[in-house]
Structure 1
C-alpha cells in the first residue's frame, strides 16, 4: 500500500501529460469534464492519504517538534498548492482563498465534529477528552478567524473585504507568530494538554527533552522520499483539476463558493476520516487534535501564504466574508466554545453542530 498510492498518482500524472491537452480541449462535452473531475478528485484524495501516512510515520521517527511540523506542513502544502492553482488559473477568483478557509471551518467544526460527536454519543453515550488541549486550540482559532475572515469587512482602508499591503504584511506576521507560539507550546512544555486524559503522565523535563533513542537514517530517507513522491503528483495534477473545476462552475452556473468547498474536502478528507475512526474507537482526544489542528494550521499558515502570493503576483484577494457567512461563523465559534467547555460530550452536541452544517450547505446554494 505504501508504494501503490504514489504509483497511482504518478500513473495519473503520466496519462495527463500525454493525453491531457486533448482531454482539456474536450471539456465542452459535459460527460468528459465530469469523468475527468471525478478521476482527478479521487486520485488526489487517494494520494493525500499517502501523504498523511508518510507524514505520521516521519512524526513518530523524528519526535517533537519536527514530527508535528512535518505533518502540519505536508497538509498545508497541499491546500496552498490547490488554492494557488485555481487562483492563478482563473481570471476572476479573488474569493477562492476565503471560500476555502471558510469551508474548512464549517466542514471541520460543524460537519466532522458534529457527525463524530453524534456517532460517539450513540455508540459510547459519553466521551471524555483533554479539555486543556481543546481550549488551547480555540484560544488560537478564534482570534485568527476574526482577523482573517471578519476584520477585513470592517476596515476603512478598503471597501471590498480586501487588505492593504501594509495590513497584509502585518497580519501575516502576526498570524505566523501566534501560530508559532502555539506550536512551540504544543510540542514542548505543554505537550501533555494534547494527550488523552487517561494517558500515562510524563514529567515536564522528560517531555521537554524527549527524543527517539535512535533514528534509522536509511528508513528516514526512504519515508521522506515517499512523502515527496506522494506530494508531487498532487502539485502537478492541481493545475488540471483547477481548469476543470473553474470550467465546471462557469458552465453549470454553480456558486463560486463551491470551488472552495471542493478544495476543502480534498485537503481534509484523509484527516476527517481518521478523526471519525478515532471517535468510533473512543479516542476523542486524537480526533479533536486532528480536527482543531487542521483548522489552526489552515488559519496560521494558509492565510500568510495566500497573502504572499497576492502581494507577489498583484492578484486581488478578498478575505472578508459576506454578512450571512459572518453570522454562521460567529455562531460556530460560540457553539464550539460551549461544546468544548466541558470534558464530556454527548450526541446532543453532535446534533447541534450538524444542524449548523446543514444551514451552511443550504446557504451555499440559496444565499
Structure 2
C-alpha cells in the first residue's frame, strides 16, 4: 500500500505543475469572475505543494546547502521577472514596487520563516540547534545588502527624494552581485560545512541517512518540474493580484498591502520546505532557506532593476521610510542575538514572529 501511495503522490506532483501552467496560460491578462478566481487559487496551492516536493527531491540528490540554494535562487529569479514585468507599465505607482517587494521578502524570510522554523524546531526538539558561524555570515550579508540598497538612498543628497544617482545605483548593483557571489562561493565551496545541519552533539550531518537519494534522471525531472511549478506560482499570483487589489481597495487599506500579499504567496514554497526541515530537526537547512531567500531577493533584484532603469521611464525609489528602517534595524539586532548562541528556545521564534506581526500591522495601518 505504501508503494502505491508513493506512486500516486509522484503522479500528482508531476501533473500539478503542468495543469497549473495551463491554467496560467488560459487566464493570463483576463478579468476573472469570482468562481474562476477560486479555481485559480486551487491551482496555485497545488503548484506550491508540487514545488516543495520537487525542491526536496533536488535537495536530497545534491545535498545541503545546494538544495536550499536551488530553491531560493529559482523563486527569486522568477520573482524578479515578475517585478520587471510590472515595472514595464511605467506607472508612477510602480516607482516603489522593487523596494516594497524586496523589503517584504526580507521581513517575511528573516522574521516569518525564520521565526516559525525556530519555534517549530524548539517545540518539537526542546532546543533548535544550528551553526552560528554559517548563519551569522548569512545574516551579516543580508544586513549589508539591505543597508546598501534600501537604507542609504534615504540619506544621499545627489538626487531629490529617497533615490540613488546613476553612479550610486551602479555601485549598489555591483556590490549586491559581488557580495551574493562571494557568499555562494563560501556556502558551497570553501566553508560548506558551516551551512550543514548539526546533530544534538554538535556534529555536522552531511547527507540524509534515512532514505536513498533519487537517481540523476529523477533529479533532472524534478528540476524541470520545479521550474514549471515556480513559473505557475508566480504567474498565478499575478493573475490573482487584480482581485487582491480590488479587495484591498474595498477594505480601504494602503496599496502596499498588495505587495505584501503577493510576497506571501510567492514565498509559500520556501516556507513549507523550511518548516518541514525544522520538523526533521534540520533547522540549519531552514535558516539556509530563509536567509538565502532574503539575500537572493536583494542580490538579484537590485542589479536587475538597475539595468532595467536604463530604458524604463519613471523614477526608481529604493529608500525605505523611517518606520521600515526601524523594523529593519530591529530585525538585524534581534537576528544577531538569536544567531550568536547557535541554539534557540521557543522564545526566540516568538520574538521574530512578533516583529513580523508589527510589520504586517503597520502595513495595514501605517
2:302 alignment partner in structure 1: 303
Q: Within 5 A, what are the aligned runs for 1:301-340?
A: 301-340=300-339
Give the superposition deviation at 1:283. 2.0
Preserved contact between residue 68 and residue 288 of structure 2 (Cα < 8 Å): no
1:145 alignment partner in structure 2: 146
Per-residue deviation, residues 158-187 of structure 1 (Å, max 9, x unmatched): 232122222222211110011001101110
- Give SS of 1:342's match: coil
Match of 1:4 among 12, 15, 21: 15
Q: Distance in 2 between matches of 1:293 and 1:90?
A: 30
**1:70–1:286 CA distance, 2 compared to 1 (3 A):** closer
Give the superposition deviation at 1:235. 6.0
Q: Within 5 A, what are the aligned runs for 1:95-134?
A: 95-134=96-135
Q: Distance in 1 between matches of 2:297 and 2:102?
A: 7
Unaligned runs of 5+ in 1: 27-31, 204-213
Q: Distance in 2 between matches of 1:281 and 1:63?
A: 15
**1:61–1:254 CA distance, 2 compared to 1 (3 A):** same
Q: Distance in 1 between matches of 2:248 and 2:310?
A: 26
**1:318–1:47 CA distance, 2 compared to 1 (3 A):** same
- Give SS of 1:348's match: helix
- Give SS of 2:160's match: coil
Q: Distance in 2 between matches of 1:347 and 1:64?
A: 25
Q: Within 5 A, what are the aligned runs for 1:162-181?
A: 162-181=163-182
Give the superposition deviation at 1:351. 2.1
**1:264–1:237 CA distance, 2 compared to 1 (3 A):** closer
Per-residue deviation, residues 204-257 of structure 1 (Å, max 9, x unmatched): xxxxxxxxxx99775565344423433443465465344444455455542122
2:360 paired with 1:364: no
2:192 paired with 1:191: yes
2:75 alignment partner in structure 1: 75
Q: Distance in 2 between matches of 1:277 and 1:321?
A: 33
Preserved contact between residue 72 and residue 289 of structure 2 (Cα < 8 Å): no
Give the superposition deviation at 1:65. 8.9
2:158 alignment partner in structure 1: 157
Q: Distance in 2 between matches of 1:357 and 1:68?
A: 22
**1:197–1:170 CA distance, 2 compared to 1 (3 A):** same
2:47 paired with 1:47: yes
1:208 alignment partner in structure 2: none
TM-score, length-scaled by structure 2: 0.83
1:260 alignment partner in structure 2: 259
**1:338–1:63 CA distance, 2 compared to 1 (3 A):** closer
Give the superposition deviation at 1:68. 6.1
Q: Distance in 2 between matches of 1:64 and 1:124?
A: 21
Q: Within 5 A, what are the aligned runs for 1:167-246?
A: 167-198=168-199, 218-219=217-218, 222-234=221-233, 237=236, 240-246=239-245
Preserved contact between residue 68 and residue 285 of structure 2 (Cα < 8 Å): no
Match of 1:15 among 26, 34, 38: 26
Preserved contact between residue 100 and residue 259 of structure 2 (Cα < 8 Å): yes
1:209 alignment partner in structure 2: none
2:281 paired with 1:275: no
- Figure out how many residues of one structure are paired with residues of the other and give that number: 346
Give the superposition deviation at 1:127. 2.1
- Give SS of 1:363's match: helix
TM-score, length-scaled by structure 1: 0.83
Q: Distance in 1 between matches of 2:272 and 2:64?
A: 24
Q: Distance in 2 between matches of 1:332 and 1:132?
A: 18
**1:295–1:239 CA distance, 2 compared to 1 (3 A):** closer
Q: Distance in 1 between matches of 2:58 and 2:122?
A: 33
Q: Distance in 1 between matches of 2:296 and 2:70?
A: 12
Q: Distance in 2 between matches of 1:221 and 1:115?
A: 31
Preserved contact between residue 9 and residue 233 of structure 1 (Cα < 8 Å): yes
